[in-house]
C-alpha cells in the first residue's frame, strides 16, 4: 500500500493561517511487511525511524493498537521551508491509521484531527483535499471551502537555509489596531474573491498587499524583495512568502514560467528554483 501527500503553500498572502494550496511536491510512504515494532526506512536526515517519528506518533494518537509495520518513506518536500513538510507527515499519519485501523474516516474527520494536531488548517486542509482550500478554526470547529485555483504556474525559490515557524512567528505583533485589522481583512477578502472568480490580476495585487504577516517577515528572507522586484518586472501576478517562509512563491502565466525561473536562477542566490503546479487530488492511497 502506498500513501501519497502533496506539499502545500499556506497563507497565499493575506490568508494568514486560513488559506492554502496543494502543490506538486510529494511525501510518499509505502507500507511493507508487519513487524514486531515500527521501523521507517528513509534517507531524510536526522529524523527518527521508530514510533517517535511524527508519522507513527500521529497514527498511534488516533488508534493506539495498530499492528506495527516496516515503512519506507520518501519525500521531495524540503524541511522547514514553508511548504508544509510537517503537515504532510501528519496527514500521512492520519491516513496510515485510517487504512491499517479500517476506520473509514471521512475527509472532514481527517481535517478535524489534523487541525487539532497542527493548530490551524492552512497546510493540512489542502494536503487532504487538494486544490485551494479556505478554512477557519474557531471554537474548536473547522469549516472549509475547497475550490479550483486559477490556472497559473507557481515558481518556487527554496533557499538553502531553514526558517523555523516558531522563529518566523516571533517577529509578528501580538495585536493589530481595529483600523488595521479591518484594512487587512478587506485586502484578504478581495484576494479570495479574485481567486474564486479567476481574476489573477486583482487577486495578485491583493496577495501582495498583505498586512497580517509578510510586512513583518520580509526582513528574515533577504532574497524576497529582489525576487519580487524581478518577478513584477517580468509580469508576474504576485510574489509571496510561502507559509512561514523562507520559500518565495511567484504566481505567473504558464508561458512565462520558464523564463522567470531562469531569471531567478541568474540572481545566483543560494537555493533551488522549481516550477510547480496545483495538485488537484490531495492525499491518495494506492
The binding site consists of: 78-88
Cα separation, 81 vs 92, whole angstroms: 19
Other C-beta atoms within 10 Å of 119: how many?
11
- Hey, CA dihedral for 124, 157, 148, 283, is it positive or negative? negative
- Please state the residue numbers annotated as binding site for ATP: 78-88
Cβ(13)–Cβ(214) below 8 Å = yes
Residue with cell 512568502: 241
Provide the CB-side half-sphere exposure for 233 (13 A, CA). Answer: 9
Q: 224-233 and 257-266 helices cross at what angle (nearest 10)?
A: 140
Distant-in-sequence, close-in-space partners of 127: CB < 8 Å, separation ≥ 6:
5, 6, 8, 22, 84, 87, 88, 91, 114, 282, 283
Amino acid at each position: 500500500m502506498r500513501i501519497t501527500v502533496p506539499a502545500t503553500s499556506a497563507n497565499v498572502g493575506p490568508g494568514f493561517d486560513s488559506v492554502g494550496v496543494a502543490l506538486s511536491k510529494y511525501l510518499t510512504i509505502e507500507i511493507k511487511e508487519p513487524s514486531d515494532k515500527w521501523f521507517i526506512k528513509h534517507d531524510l536526515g536526522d529524523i527518527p525511524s521508530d514510533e517517535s517519528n511524527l508519522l507513527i506518533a500521529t497514527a498511534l494518537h488516533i488508534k493506539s493498537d495498530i499492528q506495527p509495520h516496516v515503512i519506507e518513506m520518501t519525500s521531495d518536500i524540503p524541511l522547514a521551508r514553508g511548504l508544509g513538510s510537517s503537515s504532510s507527515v501528519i496527514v500521512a499519519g492520519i491516513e496510515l491509521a485510517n487504512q491499517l485501523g479500517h476506520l473509514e474516516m471521512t475527509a472532514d474527520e481527517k481535517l478535524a484531527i489534523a487541525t487539532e494536531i497542527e493548530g490551524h488548517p492552512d497546510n493540512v486542509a489542502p494536503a487532504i483535499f487538494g486544490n485551494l482550500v479556505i478554512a477557519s478554526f474557531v471554537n474548536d470547529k473547522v469549516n472549509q471551502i475547497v475550490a479550483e485555483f486559477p490556472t497559473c504556474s507557481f515558481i518556487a525559490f527554496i533557499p538553502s537555509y531553514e526558517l523555523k515557524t516558531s522563529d518566523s512567528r516571533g517577529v509578528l505583533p501580538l495585536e493589530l489596531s481595529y483600523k488595521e485589522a479591518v484594512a487587512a481583512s478587506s485586502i484578504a477578502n478581495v484576494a479570495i474573491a479574485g481567486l474564486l472568480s479567476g481574476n489573477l490580476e486583482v487577486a495578485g495585487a491583493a496577495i501582495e498587499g498583505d498586512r497580517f504577516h509578510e510586512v513583518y517577515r520580509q526582513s528574515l528572507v533577504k532574497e524576497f524583495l529582489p525576487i519580487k522586484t524581478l518577478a513584477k518586472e517580468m509580469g508576474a501576478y504576485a510574489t509571496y512568502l510561502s507559509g512561514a517562509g523562507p520559500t518565495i512563491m511567484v504566481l505567473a502565466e504558464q508561458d512565462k514560467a520558464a523564463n522567470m525561473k531562469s531569471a531567478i536562477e541568474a540572481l545566483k542566490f543560494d537555493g533551488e528554483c522549481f516550477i510547480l503546479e496545483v495538485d488537484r487530488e490531495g492525499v491518495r492511497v494506492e
